[in-house]
Structures are given as C-alpha cells and as structure tokens.
Amino acid sequence: MTDISIRKTGRAGRVTLSRPEALNALTHDMCLAIDAALREWAADTDVAMLIIDAEGEKAFCAGGDIAEMYASGLRGDYEYGRRFWRDEYRMNARLFQFPKPVASFMQGFTMGGGVGVSCHGSHRIVAESSRIAMPECGIGLVPDVGGSLLLAQAPGRLGEYLGLTGARMGPGDAIHAGFADCYIPEADWPALIEVLERTGEWTMIDRSCVTPPESRLAALQPEIDATFGGETLLDVVNALDHHDSAFATETLKMLERNCPLSMGATLEMVHRLRGPGGDIRRALETEYRFSARAMEHGDFLEGIRAAIIDKDKSPKWSDDLRGLKPPRVTQMLQPLGKDGLTFGEDAK
C-alpha cells in the first residue's frame, strides 16, 4: 500500500504515513493495516518497540479521509461511515493498550484521526512545527479516536476549552495539556530514530528531550478555568458573555463558528470521562454513540459541505449556540444497544 509503509527495521516495528500530498489523512485501509500490524507485533519478540512517523513537512496527519464518507452519506448510506469509525476506534484502543513502548514523531499538523494514531503511545514527541488540535466540533462531529479521554485528563478546564473551540496547540501547549511528552528539535529526529531502530532502546528518547517552548495555554489557564466550568454549553457561553476580556471575546467568536450540538455533546462527554471511571474503551464507545448518528441525526454532512466541499465556511447548523436543548445532546449520546461499539478480537 503506497499510502502507508509498515515494516520491521532492526528492533522496531515501523509505521510511516506516506500521503504527504493529502497531509497524511487516514483512510479506512490505512487504519486496517495499522491494526493488523499491532496484532502481529504485540507477540513478536523481535519487536522491542513501535515507531510511528510520517513523510512531509506540513503534517504528521491532519485527520481522517472523509471524502468517501461524505459521498456515501449523501446517498443515504450511513453504514460505510459507521464501519470506518468502528475499525478506526478499535485500532485506537489496540494502540493505547499496546504492550510495548510506542514512540510517535509529530511534525506539523496533527489533528483528529492523527491524534488517535500518535497521542496514545508512551513517548509522544513534538518539535518546533508541531500543531495539535481536536477540531471536530467545526464539522459537526465530536473529538473522537480517544481524544475525549485526553481532553478529560487535561488540567483544569483545558479539555473543555480545547474540545469546544478546536484551538491549536503548539509544542509547549501539547505537553502542558497532556497530548505530548517530550520536545526534541526536528533536526535531531533522524539520528534518534536510527538509534531506536538499531537498538530498541527507548530510554534514549528521555535522554534526548530538551526544554520545550513556553505554553500559551498555561498562561491562559486561570481564564479558561473561570469560564469553562459550567455543566452545559449555555453555562459556558453565559460565563464568556460576562467575562470582560480579550480572551472571552475571541473565544466566543470561535464557539460561534462551531456546531452547537457537537459542542454540547463534547462538554457532556468530557464530564462523563473525567476521573477514575474514564478509560479508553469507555471513551471510544461513548464517542461512537455520537459518530454513528452524526450523518443521519446530526450536522456532520453539513459541516463537511461547508468546510471541505463547497468551502463557503457558512454551515447552517440545526441548533443555535444559545438555544441548544439538553434532549438533543441526550439523544446523540444514548446507548446504541446491539449496534454499539465492541472490542472483541473477532468483532467486525
């Protein structure tokens, strides 16, 4: 497969995303290929660790390839998207639970589905160009691929802020928020990867980390905590309305662009997953409740149309920012029964 290179090199299992012209967007087949490699390498004694990287300068992975998903949804065929999400989420869970060290090297944009491939391992490496985000609320989806769990584990109310706004994190921000562990200048990556491949000695990563740039989000933490602590989307909006600052004004502009239903559900998901009850499978199962309904009962198709197909940046959302009714969120996050996401080895 030309879109992805999967091989063993020395002591390492290697995954390289190789669609730089498409910002390494994940296809369904790429997800299946990664999942198959994880199954094989988990028990392979020759593989001491896993290394994930990507070709190109602009992006590690800018998200999932949703063109076919959109086309099938317009035809009224919602099963293709559900199958894609099921297989992707199972791969995300397997990566999170992989029994060996996993090092990911995230240059440029790492968004959405790219977070699911890179931010669940043991050694998550960023550099000068790294820009990480969960922007799904802008297209009528919710932060998924296990991203809701990362948001729930972020300090203070940072998870609510990042999930609802889709704000991009620089390298220092990503480390502060818990999406990355280690800052290593990109010029040092090739030599480090060569050593890791040859030796499988993952402790070399820790020895190569240097002080990251300062986090802008850390400085904003008091304002974020003061405005994103509400139970509902309306609570957050009201807090921002009454918070007289440049931060509040800019943040409201960001929320006004995004899908109210997605933001309301994201807020509820982060609240449910915060604390000891949150784990990767519960996060993915909850995310799937929304994504499985997103085309038929949500705003996903309209979000994709406005952002990617027509590119008019003027989506007509089903709900108003200040008028989202709680039953709408409840409907999107209620259990799917026999159609819910499962994680059995042979579950397809």
Report pLDDT digits (tens) over 291-327: 999 999 999 999 999 999 999 999 999 999 999 999 9
The predicted structure's pLDDT at residue 347: 43
pTM of structure: 0.96
pLDDT at 266: 98
Tell whether the model's pLDDT for residue 346 goes beyond 70. no
- The average confidence (pLDDT) of the chain is 96
**Which residue of the set 144, 268, 287, 299 is catalytic?**
144
d(CA 284, CA 211): 33
Measured at the CA of 51, the angle between CA 49 and CA 53, to 5 degrees, comes to 175
List the alpha helices (DSSP H) in the chain.
28-42, 67-74, 79-96, 113-118, 147-153, 158-165, 171-177, 189-199, 203-208, 216-227, 233-241, 246-257, 260-273, 280-297, 300-304, 326-333
Confidence of residue 280 (pLDDT cuts 50, 70, 90): very high
Residues 6+ apart with CB under 8 A from 106: 60, 114, 118, 119, 124, 125, 126, 127, 130, 132, 180
pLDDT at 4 over 80: yes
Residue 90 pLDDT more than 50? Answer: yes
* Annotated active-site residue in 13, 63, 64, 178: 64
Share of residues in the chain with pLDDT > 90 (%): 95
pLDDT for 2 equals 87
Using the 8-state DSSP alphabet, how is residue 246 labeled? H
pLDDT tens for each residue of 197-247: 999 999 999 999 999 999 999 999 999 999 999 999 999 999 999 999 999
In this predicted structure, what is the pLDDT of residue 66?
Answer: 86
Q: How many residues does this entry show for the chain? A: 348
Average confidence (pLDDT) over 6-24 = 97
Residue 348: alpha-carbon gap to chain centroid: 22
**Domains of the chain with CATH codes:** 4-339 (3.90.226.10)
Task: Give the DSSP per-residue string, 324-341.
Answer: --HHHHHHHHS--GGGS-
Q: Which residues contact 85 (CB under 8 A, 6 or more apart)?
A: 144, 288, 291, 292
State yes or no: pLDDT of 259 exceeds 50.
yes
Q: Quick one: pLDDT band at residue 23, thresholds 50, 70, 90?
A: very high
- Pick the catalytic residue from 35, 136, 299, 319: 136
Look up 128 and say whether it is catalytic: no
| Distance separating the N- and C-terminal Cα atoms of the chain | 22
Helix axes 246-257, 216-227, angle to 10 degrees: 80
Is 113 noted as a catalytic residue in this protein? yes
CA distance 150 to 178: 7
Q: Which of 113, 121, 147, 163 is catalytic?
A: 113
Distance CA 291, CA 140 (A): 9
Say if residue 180 is exposed, middle or buried (CB neighbours under 10 Å; 0-12, 13-18, 19+).
Answer: buried
DSSP state of 145: T
Q: At what angle do helices 216-227 and 158-165 cross, to 10 degrees?
A: 90
Contact 158, 221 (CB under 8 A): yes
Confidence band for 345, pLDDT divided at 50, 70 and 90? low
Take residue 195 and report the two structure tokens written for it.
Answer: 């050593």
Res 277: pLDDT? 76
**pLDDT tops 90 at residue 67:** no
